[in-house]
Amino acid sequence: MIGRDDLRAAVGAGIVTEAQAASLAGLADSRRGARSDLAIGDEPFELFKGFNEIFIVIGLIILSVGWAAVVGISYGSQISNPQQVAVTYGGFGAVILWLLSEYFVRKRRMVAPAIALSILFALNAATALTGYFAQPFMVAQEDYSSLPWPFALGTLGLLLYWFRFRVPFAMAMIAVGLFIVAILLAATSQGTPKSPSDLFLLSAGGPFAWITLLLGFAVFAVAMFFDMSDPHRVTRRSANGFWLHVVAAPALVNTIALSLLERDANTALFGVMMVFALVAIVIDRRSFLIAAIGYIVVLAGTIFDGEGAAMTVLILGVVLLLLGAFWEKIRARLLRLMPRFVPLHRLPPSNF
């Protein structure tokens, strides 16, 4: 183990520079922060490091509410020129959020403020661009041809934000932004769905359900790219994968679960969820499975009812408890059964 004294000695001997020593010390601290309090085989998850971060997030929320009030008053006084208001206040808000991110994210490396700032940056971009490009009268007549551009540009802006600050949560919002753009483009070319459920039912007309399914697989593939580049889960690449799995699982389950629940095919749905569970165990991502099952529970409790849906939820709850208790043991046995072409060296190692 190389400690702080060893790094200072290395700097004194000219082996490494002070900047390199500081980078090594920062890497060691981040690895300890991600793994020191975790049980063997557990999945890293961090929303904030201390109450000071919550304090700053509350300040950001109050600041954003005040800013929204100022923009609303200005918009009311300049209702004849809404595009000018959108450009002026949207651009100024983006600059302020970028500068705050430079301090709280890049310099202070805070977790909760990074999430809050990425959300505020996305909301600011979406609001300003929608105010500039969207045509309210066309939207009122169910003509959404003016909406894809602001959401596409907002997603692109969020991608630039991610390239600069590498906030993992921003990656999840980028995936959601792409989903919104794809749905809007489909609605523009194919017509709007008759009901919200038609967005996700494979039996419904239109491409919406297939778009959801394909984007879910695409997001899952990107999540696996990040995961396989960091199998020991010690860098932000793993955190990117975590949040992408949280988006990918509901996108995949949404279409499959709704289509099966519509047909009262609860046995088939349970079988599909077992496949999801096997995949989650092999890639060692509890977030992928809990997002999928949690979404099914919400669907069963809000959209569908009946004895079959209730029994499915009950069984899924029992399965989750059993997996939580014996996750590592089950995973170790599954990995031994994997064929040779599966790149196990790119997956988290088993401790059993």
Q: DSSP of 204-244, one letter per residue?
A: SSSSHHHHHHHHHHHHHHHHHHHHHT-TT--SHHHHHHHHH
Whether 207 is in a domain gets the answer: no
In a domain, 268, yes or no: no
Place of tokens 């183990």: 1
Q: Judge whether 186 lies within some domain.
A: no
Residue 10 lies in a domain: yes
User: Rounded to the nearest 5°, which phi and psi values hold at 224?
Assistant: -70, -30
pLDDT for 35: 47
Query: Domain span at residue 72?
Result: 48-168
Residue 105 lies in a domain: yes
In this predicted structure, what is the pLDDT of residue 203?
Answer: 47
Same structural domain, 89 and 154: yes
Q: Are residues 164 and 56 in the same domain?
A: yes
Those residues of the chain that have pLDDT short of 50 are 33-36, 203
Report how many domains make up the chain: 2
Residue 163, in any domain of the structure: yes
Q: Is residue 69 in a domain?
A: yes
Whether residues 83 and 104 share a domain: the answer is yes
Helix and strand element counts for the chain (H, E) = 13, 0
Please name the residues in contact with 206: beta carbons below 8 A apart, sequence gap of 6 or more: 186, 190, 191, 193, 198
pTM: predicted TM-score of the whole model, two decimal places: 0.78
Phi-psi region of 38 (alpha: psi -120 to 50; beta: other; left: phi over 0): beta
The two tokens of residue 211 are: 């778009």
Percent of the chain scored above 70 by pLDDT? 74
Domain boundary among 168, 195, 212: 168
Question: What's the pLDDT at 263?
Answer: 66
Q: Quick check: 114 and 131 in contact, CB under 8 A?
A: no
**Do 22 and 86 reside in the same domain of the chain?**
no
